[in-house]
Structure 1
Amino acid sequence: MRKLTTTLALSLLASPAFAASGPFFSLKNTNFIVLLAFLLFIAVLVYFKVPSMLGKMLDKRADDIRSELDEARKLREDAQSLLASYERKQAEVKDQAARIVEHAKTEAGLAAQQAKADMEASIVRRLAAAQDQIASAEAAAIKEVRDRAVVVAVQAAREVIAKQTTAQSASKLIDDSIAVVGAKLH
């Protein structure tokens, strides 16, 4: 670092401006001309208020940076509040989903119990209907057997009566039947 500083100082001393000869306050002295040009340049800058403009520009830039930082801080706070809001909503939705699942499980259990009860009631109804059909079939079978027995008995009685009936007893039966019918009609 020291070597660099020394080299820089020596290079400035070896510049053409220091090679001038003669009196310092002469227009032939390049050092004086450079000094005058530099002072004139500084005067022009001060006349046109360049330093105050630079200060204003720097102040404006600092204010802009400060306002951008404030805006960024505000945006960060808004983002954090929005994130917290979404996290709360997510927790609420998660809780609601758990409640919906629990409710669905309860409803499914109740529906299963109701279906089981309905199935048992249906089985009881079908058993009762089957028993009614069996009783009806038994009654029909008994009636058919009785009817058949009556037909067989009538046929057997006809054959027996036909074998044992003579012409005289047949005539007497006809007369008795006419008398019974006549008594019932009058």
Structure 2
Amino acid sequence: MNATDWATLWAFVSLLLFLGLVIYLKVPGTIGKALDKRADEIKSQLAEAARLREEAQALLAEYQRKRKEAEAEAEHILASAKREAAMLADEAKRKTEEYVARRNQLSEQKIKQAETDAISAVRSAAVDIAIAAAQKIAAEKATGATGDALFQNAIDQVRTRLN
């Protein structure tokens, strides 16, 4: 046997001793248990992840439902606000029209009153002028007691007719 054969023999014997020691120390069982434990941990983590995912999906569904409800409520509030704004605008328009109508009516009444006052003033001035003219004419044409009586009678007639 040469040196290479001896080295091969010793390597083979060492391998057998190593494998025997590994089997004697139950290393494959320990490795199997460690792998089984790791597999169980991974399974529990997967189960936990699946549970968390289901919870997240449930929360997502709940929040989507709440969002839809909030959107519906917001649309309702917006529609209500639009209706109320339209009602307020209509009421303001109506009140403004009523105010303008009242102001126009009041202005017309003031104009009529001013017209009536002006007509009365003109009549009164015309009466005064007519009386003065009648006095002057009667004073020039009538003299004495008869003139005074005629003059007074004419003045009374003018006053009753003009007023």
**TM norm structure 1:** 0.62
Query: Greater CA radius of gyration, 1 or 2?
Result: 1
Superimposed CA distance per residue, residues 43-66 of structure 1 (whole angstroms, 9 cap, x where no aligned partner)? 443565533442332123212211
Q: Residue 58 of structure 1 is aligned with which of 14, 22, 35?
A: 35
Separation in 1 of the partners of 2:131 and 2:27?
147
Task: Report the alpha carbon displacement of residue 94 of structure 1 after superposing the two structures with TM.
Answer: 2.1
* Match status 1:125 vs 2:117: no
Q: Residue 133 of structure 2 is aligned with which of 150, 156, 159?
A: 156
Aligned equivalent of 2:79: 102
Identify, as 1 or 2, the structure richer in helix: 2
Tell me how large the CA RMSD over aligned residues is: 3.0
Letter in 2 for 1:124: A
Aligned pairs, how many? 144
Task: Report the alpha carbon displacement of residue 132 of structure 1 after superposing the two structures with TM.
Answer: 0.9
Letter in 2 for 1:152: I
Q: Residue 89 of structure 1 is aligned with which of 58, 66, 79?
A: 66
Letter in 2 for 1:150: V
Superimposed CA distance per residue, residues 117-174 of structure 1 (whole angstroms, 9 cap, x where no aligned partner)? 22332243123212211221122212221231233134324423553576x77xx9xx
Letter in 2 for 1:35: F
Task: Report the alpha carbon displacement of residue 99 of structure 1 after superposing the two structures with TM.
Answer: 1.0
Structure 1's unaligned 5+ residue stretches are: 1-20, 23-27, 173-186
Separation in 2 of the partners of 1:103 and 1:165?
90
Aligned equivalent of 1:77: 54
Structure 2's unaligned 5+ residue stretches are: 149-163
Identity rate, percent? 40
Separation in 1 of the partners of 2:57 and 2:25?
48
Task: Report the alpha carbon displacement of residue 109 of structure 1 after superposing the two structures with TM.
Answer: 3.4
Aligned partner of residue 83 in structure 1, secondary structure: helix
CA gap 1:29/1:134 in 2 versus in 1, 3 angstroms: same
**TM norm structure 2:** 0.69
Q: Counterparts of 1:1-186 in structure 2 under 5 Å?
A: 29-46=6-23, 50-160=27-137, 162-163=139-140
Higher relative contact order (CA closer than 8 Å, sequence separation 6+): 2
Deviates more, 1:101-110 or 1:88-97: 101-110
Task: Report the alpha carbon displacement of residue 100 of structure 1 after superposing the two structures with TM.
Answer: 1.9
